[in-house]
Every structure is written in structure tokens, then in C-alpha cells.
Structure 1
Amino acid sequence: MPDVILGPNRYGKAETRLVRVVREGEVHHLKDVTVSSSLSGDMEAVHLTGDNATVLPTDSQKNTVYAFAKQYGVDQIEDFALLLARHFVESQPPIHHARVEIEEYAWERISGDRPHSFARKGGEVRTCVVHHDRDGRTTVVSGLKDLVVLNSTGSEFHGYIQDEYTTLPPTTDRVLATAVAARWRHGAEGSAYGKSYEEVRRCLLEAFADTHSLSLQQTLYAMGKRVLDTRGEVCEIRFAMPNKHHFLVDLSPFGLDNDNEVYFAADRPYGLIEGGVLREDAPDAAFAWE
């Protein structure tokens, strides 16, 4: 009978909530993030015998987030994630690899004459995942999720496989809507992450709007290609895009026509389109997406 061995493993502190207020006199600035850290390395003993000698407690990881927020501040989430990941690897010899993921929630001022009053924005969530290991390999993956977009025309869907279970009619004019989750890998460390994020977001929105779509897959590729053609710091981008279906309501029982005006917006089940676009010479970094 073959031996049983320990497989890949990691541990960490999930979803540390952090709000950092910067006070410049009466004017305040707000940073609202969730930080998750995962560490791996010399962890055989803790799994096999319960020896915790190489374990940095997850509570210590949480406290590091809070302490670093006070000591160094939180500007671009990628830079803060890099700071944490390097600290965990370089300060603890048993730790060989650190993964830090951050989600950022945007706020805006209620008005200019209320410098310390804010309203939570209802748009997308900014994200990042940073990996750093003892061999000096570092990857930065920026991203966003819940970016809801819709084209009320300029989308078709036809020419697909039809079998005995197909009931969906072909169409040359439909609503195309999705909630974009996109993650893009930086080819090198040290990008101006804030500017890069705004420009990638702009590319995504413009490509979605500019593409006359025959499928959501075609739109996904057009969005990825626009980013890579425009932003030299990005070497790969991956998407998860659920098709937020809008079905025409049959108004004929009421003696009414429905010329692509009244829809039922269904939340489930939904088609889920996933894919990536990358440069042919993009350096391999499979662990960046884990």
C-alpha cells in the first residue's frame, strides 16, 4: 500500500476589515479595505505532529495589517499588499511564500463643504493579489469585480448548435449585460498602480461599448485585447463574465406589442463566460492566479 504524504498547504487570516482615516485638519480621507493573507513553507510538523514552532498565528497576521496601516498608511492596495507579503517572508525564516489579497471599497464625499462626511459608492470593487516567495519571485495581479455593464442594442446571438433540447430562439437584436470580474497581471513590479487601474477600467468600458457583439465570448476577447494593446504594463488578463439575461416579456395577452422595450431581468440560471487574453511572450507565472 503506498505511503500517505502531506500535500500542498497554506494557512492565513481571511478578510481582515480595515478602515484607515487620514486627517488633514478638517479634511479627512478614507481608505476601506479587506485584507486576506496566506502563508506556506516549513509546515510539515504542524500538520503531522501538531508542533506549532513554525506557525505565525493568524492573529499576528491580522495585527500586522493594522500596525502597518498606522506605520505606513494605505495608498495603492498593490503597494500595501507587497509590503505585507515581503514582511511575512523576510521576517520569518519558516515562511517561504506569502499571498496577500485585498479588496477596496470606494467612498465619495457627500459634498465639498462637509469634508468628513462620505457616502459608499455603489460601483465595482477594486481587487489585488500579490505573491512573494523566498526565491525573490513576486507577482502583482490587479483587478475589479461587480462592474455591471449593459448594451441595450448592438448585440446578436445566432448560428449556434441546435439540438432536441434547444428552445432559445436566434436573435439579431438583444440586450447584452454582464457583471465583469477582471484580473490583470503586471509584467513587472513597480507600476503606477492607481493610474494603471483607471486606464484599464477605461479600456474595459470602451471596448464593451464599442464592440458590436455576436457573442459574449467575442466581447470578452475584445475587452482583453483593448487592454493589452493600450497598456504596456499588463501582460495577461483573465475574465469571469456572467450573462445577465434579459428576456422580452410577451405582452400579446394584453393586446400590446413589445418592440424590444419591456424585459424580464433574470438573475439565475445564467451563462458564465470565462477566458483569458495574454501576450505571446508573457512570462509564465501560474502561481499568480492561485
Structure 2
Amino acid sequence: MSIVLGSNRYGKAENRIVRIYRDTPRHEIHDISVSTALRGDFAAAHLAGDQSQVLPTDTQKQTAYSFAKEKGLLSIESYALNLATHFVDHIAPVHNARIEVEEFAWERVVLDGTEHDHTWVRRGQETRTASVTVDGTGDAQRTWVIGGLKDLVILKSTGSEFAGFMQDQYTLLQPTNDRVMATSLTAEWRFSSTDVEWEDAYAQIRQLLIKQFAMVHSLALQQTLYEMGKAILEACPFITEVRLSAPNKHHFLYDLSPFGVENTNEVFYASDRPYGLIQTTVLHDDAPDAGPAWDSYTGLV
């Protein structure tokens, strides 16, 4: 029995880059965290400590910063595409590059009813995400793009039920036909093309997620997630697969009877953990091969 080197990759994780556009008196800001991960002919580095084929992670960092100016940072998808393609096309030992980007939203300060040209405040918890994987060169090159968001905290005070569920000797939960439904949504969607207006696509998909959460009378969080994914696929021909992850942020009716107070579904205890975690994939039945599209750098190789 012999020991061999398995799958491996390396890169520079969580480079914080802020790009400010100053072309006009009204400045624009883009604030991101970008991680690079390269696969290729790196066996010698693992087996013999030979670094001759290894592009330093510091060089990857410097490239990421420089590309924020050279290539621009108007859309995280296009920025990640440029970065991944560069590593695969121009660094000989690299045959596969994955770039993962998080974008942190800022909104303009409003003074006397007017948006300020160069002052912002951070907006909420929500983070926009993108992952790009480029594999191979020339005519054999393949590209996968994933857009997404995480920590979209959303709640509705009615229009949600949970009843008719399986019960056994350990079941204490009581059925309800009127409950608070809340989650911190993570959503990712796989593009079928790179010929996309990235900013418009993100805005459209985000609005569809919120609309479905609000409008669907939910018999289960699973049902709501499916309807979210279905709505995106129906409205966006450039999307082929949607993956959703939603912790069920439970709100339990608080017992006020010891104080002689009737609680008519108005006062709740918001429990942060434990929580139900619902995950769903919705896709076209003829969706093209996902390849390494979902192979997250933050996961194990």
C-alpha cells in the first residue's frame, strides 16, 4: 500500500479591497473581500518543498489589488472573471482558478434631503457574493459563475403555518396556523452564460426572493424556498440553478399568563439557537453540468 498526494489547492484568502471611483464630484465606493485559489502542477511543492512552480500567495494578493484599478470593480462577477482568467491564461502551472468575492453594501448619507457625494454608512448585515471558476485554456477553457447573497434577514408576522407534521413520543411542538416566519437567507444562483448585465441581474433576483417570501402563504419554509427558486428560474433565462439555505429564526409566543396578561399572538421570544436549517436546490431538468462551480474554497478539497 502506497501513499499518494490527493486533491490540493492554495491561494490568498479574504483580501479586503476598497475601490473608490473619483471620476466625477459624486464618488462611488465598492468594498469587497476576495479570495483566490489555484489548482495545478504543484505536486513538487508538497512532496519535496520545491517552490519553483508556486506563484506566491502574496503575488495573488497584489494582483487582486491591482486589478481593482486595471480592470475595474463595477461588478464583482466581471472582476472575478478577469482575475480567474488571468491566473489560468498567464501562469503556466495553473490549470484551474477559483475566485470568491463578498461585497459589503454602503448607502449614501442624506443631508437636508440630498444624498451626499462622498459620505456613506454601512447598510445592514446583507452581503452580496460571487464565485468564479475558470478551468483550462484556449478552446478547451470552461467558466462557471455563481452569484448570490448571504445574511438577508427577513421576517413576516403572519402568512405562515406549520401543521400536519409527523409526531412521535418525543414531539412537544404544537401545530400552528399563524406564526412569525423569519430567516437569515443565503441564496446562490448559477449562471448559464457570462453575457449578463450583472448589476441588473442581482437587483432582479434579490427582489424576486423578497417578493416570494412576502407573497407566498407558507405552509412550510421548504415550500417558500422552492417558490423562490422557481420564480427566479421562470423570470431569468440566464439562470440554470438556484441553491437556498435558510435557518428558521424561531419566534415563540411568550407566556404572560403569570401576570394576568393575555398574549394574543403579539409578544414573542426570539430564539437564536438551536434553529431548524432548511436547504433547497431548484434547477432546470436540462441544466448543464455544474462541474466545479459549487466547489467552495472555504470547504475541504
Task: Please give the range of the TM-score, normalised by the shorter of the 2 chains.
Answer: over 0.9
| Equivalence for 1:229 | 234
The whole-number CA distance in structure 2 between the counterparts of 1:238 and 1:268 is 23
Unaligned 5+ runs, structure 2: 296-301
Q: In the aligned structure 1, how far is the partner of 2:68 from the partner of 2:75?
A: 12
Matched with 2:299 is none
1:153 paired to 2:155:
no
Q: Using the aligned pairs only, state the percent identity.
A: 53
Q: Any conservation in 1 of the 2:71–2:82 contact (CA below 8 Å)?
A: no
Write out per-residue CA displacement over residues 132-159 of structure 1, whole angstroms, 9 at most, x where no aligned residue. Answer: 0113110000000011111111111111
Partner of 1:56: 55
Partner residue in 2 for 1:81: 80
Any idea what SS the aligned residue of 2:148 has?
strand
Give 1:244 shift.
Answer: 0.3
CA–CA distance in structure 2, aligned partners of residues 181 and 113 of structure 1: 30
Residue 163 of structure 1: CA displacement?
Answer: 1.1
Does residue 275 of the first structure (1) align with residue 280 of the second (2)? yes
> In structure 1, what is the Cα distance between the partners aligned to 2:20 and 2:273?
39
In the other structure, the counterpart of 1:126 is: 128
Question: Residues 10-41 of structure 1: CA distance to partner in whole angstroms, max 9, x if unpaired?
Answer: 10000000001111343211110000000001
Q: Secondary structure at the match of 1:161?
A: coil
Is 1:252 aligned with 2:251?
Answer: no
Alignment partner of 1:138: what SS? strand
**Residue matched to 1:284:** 289
Q: Is 1:198 aligned to 2:197, yes or no?
A: no
What is aligned with 1:239? 244
Report deviation, 1:182.
0.3
Aligned partner letter, 1:138: T
Residue ranges of structure 1 left out of the alignment (5+ in a row): none
Tell me if 1:138 matches 2:143.
yes
Matched, 1:14 2:13: yes
Q: Which residue of 1 aligns with 2:183?
A: 178
| Per-residue deviation, 1:164 | 1.4
Instruction: State the alpha-carbon separation in 2 of the partners of residues 229 and 262 from structure 1.
Output: 38
Q: Alignment partner of 1:214: what SS?
A: coil
CA shift at 1:123, angstroms? 4.5
Aligned residues: 289
Corresponding residue SS for 1:195: helix
1:189 to 179, 194, 219: 194
The alignment status of 1:28 with 2:27, answered yes or no, reads yes
Distance, in Å, in 2 between the alignment partners of 1:16 and 1:147 is 23
Cα distance, 1:184 vs structure 2: 0.1
Name the SS for the 1:223 alignment partner: helix
DSSP 3-state at the match of 2:45: helix
Distance 1:122 1:151 in 2: 18
Match of 1:182, SS state, is strand
Instruction: Determine the C-alpha separation between the residues in 2 that align with 1:258 and 1:191.
Output: 50
Q: Which amino acid aligns with 2:164?
A: G
Question: Residue 14 of structure 1 aligns to a residue in which SS?
Answer: coil
Offset of residue 270 of structure 1:
0.4
RMSD across aligned C-alpha pairs, in angstroms? Answer: 1.0
Q: TM-score, normalised by structure 2?
A: 0.94
